[in-house]
Amino acid sequence: MRSIFGFGKTEEVPASPAGASEKAVDSPKPADEQHAADPGMPPIFDCPPVTDPSTLQEIKALSDDEKKVFDRIKEEVPELIKDLPPVDPEALQFIDPEMPLDIEGWLTDECIARYVRARKGVYEDTRKALRKTIEWRASTRPHAIRPDVVEIESRTGKAYFNGFDKFSRPVIYMYNHRENTKGADNQIRWIIYILENCIRHMAPGVEKVTLAIDATSWGFSNSVSIGTAKKFLDVLGNHYPERLGRAVIFQPPRFFVGFYNLVSPFIDPVTKAKVAFVNPSAAPSTQGQTQDNNSSSPWIAVEDCFDRELLEKDCYGNWAFQYNHTAYWTALEAEFAQFKSSLLAKQAQN
């Protein structure tokens, strides 16, 4: 499952008090060593202005019954955010303690609507799920995870946010063959960090991310247990509902499709419908049909989701971007500092 979510093997390695150094595997080399002569392009975190709203993926409108649940939940927001738990002592080693919680800023109308849709408009399920996430955010502070904690997970460029798809959704690239660590907890923490970063940079009218997953080098020797994959899927489903736009898997080997069929029963049907396979070398006209009778996932053309000129060459596009850790990390640390500053300024005004 690593090629789907960028995880390594599920050996847990205790974090240091600083939370920054989970045990690394021997290979591959850091991205800076792979491209030593390349100064590195900075990543693209900011979405170009959306000049044509029709290019955005349509957000499903709430039904009349769902609107009633939405209105009821919104009235109960003051109650939902009362008596929040303190930061979990274990989480303290991973976060910036100066970062404000800002639950009110997170709990927007769009956020409530996502939970209503995800819980099929059932009031009790929606309220329970929303309160569960509010408590989770209060105790773990996912938005406040420090960059140095997850820096080791980024060194080889195995997973990172960079640019946007043709629907202005942030793109998370995942290259399983660049795996460099074994600690599942910190790997999941890195994916959460990436998601939080993507969400901060979504254009108005955009709510979802796209995964661009290179499965070319996938094999059973570098996959993880179903338990680890399920743990991440639980975080995604419970605390980031309605956030996945598309998971596009490039060049999946036939045995990968078979492996996917083994784990797909653990994936929510709505999420599973968003998984797509791509053969980048095939003509677009041949991609519309399922190419494996044993797979229920559709095969799509690259152009269905991406502009090839803005898709990395390492993921079968034409964009000459190559991951350089120094360049990427400089930009990411600057982004985190700016985000922290904006939250502190907002807190000072309230």
Pick the CATH number of 2-11+153-330 from 1.10.287.70, 3.40.47.10, 3.20.20.120, 3.40.525.10: 3.40.525.10
Q: Is the pLDDT of residue 348 over 60?
A: yes
Q: Which amino acid, one-letter code, is at 225?
A: S
Better pLDDT: 245 or 28: 245
Percent of the chain with pLDDT over 90: 62
What is the predicted pLDDT for the residue at 160? Answer: 97
What is the pLDDT at residue 31? 62
If you average pLDDT over residues 244-254, what whole number do you get? 90
| Tokens at 6, concatenated | 């960028």
Residue 37 pLDDT exceeds 80 = no
What is the value of pTM for the model shown?
Answer: 0.86
Say which DSSP state 86 is in: P
For the cut 50, the answer to whether the pLDDT of residue 14 exceeds it is no
| Residue given tokens 């998601």 in the structure block | 195
DSSP-assigned letters across all residues of 194-220: HHHHHHHTPPTT---EEEEEE-TT--G
List pLDDT tens digits, range 120-168. 999 999 999 999 999 999 999 999 999 999 999 999 999 999 999 999 9
Q: For residue 288, what pLDDT is reported?
A: 44
Given a cut of 70, is residue 7 above it in pLDDT? no
Average pLDDT over residues 215-222: 71
What is the token pair recorded at 241? Answer: 């509902």
What's the Rg (C-alpha) of the chain?
A: 20
- Contact between 317 and 308 (Cβ < 8 Å): yes
Lowest mean pLDDT among 73-87, 137-151, 194-208, 277-291: 277-291
As a whole number, the mean pLDDT across the chain is: 85
pLDDT in tens, 257-276: 777 778 778 777 777 788 89
Looking at the predicted structure, is the pLDDT value of residue 106 above 80?
Answer: yes
Beta bridge partners of 213: 174, 249
Query: For residue 219, what pLDDT band results from cuts at 50, 70 and 90?
Result: low
Task: With cut-offs at 50, 70 and 90, classify the pLDDT of residue 84.
Answer: very high
Band (pLDDT 50/70/90 cuts) for residue 290 is: very low
Domain boundaries, the chain: 2-11+153-330, 61-145
| Measured CA distances, 232 to 1, 80, 118, 266 (Å) | 11, 25, 17, 11
**pLDDT score of 291:** 38
Higher pLDDT, 14 or 87: 87
Residue 102 has pLDDT above 60, yes or no: yes
Q: What is the mean pLDDT of residues 92-116?
A: 97
